[in-house]
Amino acid sequence: MFGSSRNGKHAVRPAAVESLIGSRMSIHGDVEFAGGLHVEGQISGSVVAQGRDGTLTLTENGRIEGRVEVACAIINGQIVGDLSASERVELAANARIEGDVHYKTLLVAEGAQVNGRLMRIDEQRALPGLEHMPSALPAQA
């Protein structure tokens, strides 16, 4: 969405789209995926990526009602629930999130809205509930 890294570091590359939920599709139940998931439709249930490269792309008309746990999230639609990304969250101008956002790197376009808390995943501990994600940092003893 935003294209380049300004600080000279290599940006995290989203996974290639392997799964598509089309604009006329509605899913009632939890979704688990690997690689890239492109959502133009509706999901009522949690969305969880398996592996380090799990990337969710939610288009302008897409909607998720439930918890989202991924490595990278590119959001231009609506999420009603918490969003946890172990690597990167990109919020486009039409992004609407009603819930907390946990992130390592965050990019926000003008017009994006979050009705909840923004919480950076610090390098000392992982977020509760993300322990199963391989790219989450280990908790301190």
pLDDT digits (tens, 9 = 90+) for 83-129: 999 999 999 999 999 999 999 999 999 999 999 999 998 854 544 55
Domain ranges of the chain: 17-111
Q: What is the pLDDT of residue 127?
A: 45
**What is the percent of the chain with per-residue pLDDT over 90, rounded to a whole number?**
68
What integer best gives the mean pLDDT of the chain?
84
- Choose among 60, 93, 94, 95: nearest CA to 85: 95
Give how far Cα 121 sits from Cα of 16, 86, 113, 118, Å.
25, 7, 20, 10
Confidence class for position 68, pLDDT limits 50, 70, 90: very high
Whether 9 has a pLDDT exceeding 60, the answer reads: no
The C-alpha atoms of residue 79 and residue 82 are separated, in whole angstroms, by 8
Please tell me which residue, 66 or 5, carries the higher pLDDT value: 66
Across 7-117, where does the E strand assignment appear? 17-21, 26-28, 31-33, 36-39, 42-44, 47-49, 55-58, 63-65, 68-75, 78-80, 83-91, 96-98, 101-103, 105-108, 113-114
Whether 139 has a pLDDT exceeding 60, the answer reads: no
